[in-house]
């Protein structure tokens, strides 16, 4: 952090806090324990599950952004006349 402007750093901080809150809530729902009391394997499984859920939600919300973009030709085009 610190290499970008203040808005980008603030956004990264907020995303990290939301990710931690989601992880804590999911660990209580799935395992009945705190995220920090889980074993390594349980943490990895929980992190992968959360990443998949966030990725699927992002894909559902923004299909236009994930669509392949048309290629734009830079430079001069040959005149067909």
Structural domain includes residue 14: yes
Using CA atoms in the order 16, 18, 24, 26, what is the torsion angle rounded to 10 degrees? -120
Name the domain count of the chain: 1
> Domain range for residue 16?
6-65
Q: Report pTM.
A: 0.58
Q: Which residue has the tokens 């992190």?
A: 47
Q: What is the pLDDT of residues 6-36, one digit of tens each?
A: 788 888 888 888 888 888 888 888 888 888 8
Structural domain includes residue 12: yes
- pLDDT in the model for residue 31: 87
d(CA 28, CA 24): 6
Structural domain includes residue 80: no
Question: How many other C-beta atoms are found inside a 10 Å radius of the C-beta of residue 26?
Answer: 16
d(CA 52, CA 17): 18
Structural domain includes residue 20: yes
Structural domain includes residue 58: yes
């Amino acid at each position: 952090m610190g290499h970008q402007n203040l808005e980008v750093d603030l956004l990264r901080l907020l995303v990290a806090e939301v990710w931690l809150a989601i992880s804590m809530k999911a660990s209580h729902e799935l395992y009945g324990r705190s995220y920090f009391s889980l074993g390594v394997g349980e943490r990895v499984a929980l992190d992968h599950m959360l990443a998949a859920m966030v990725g699927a939600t992002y894909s559902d919300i923004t299909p236009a952004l994930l669509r392949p973009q048309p290629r734009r030709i830079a430079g001069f085009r040959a005149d067909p006349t």
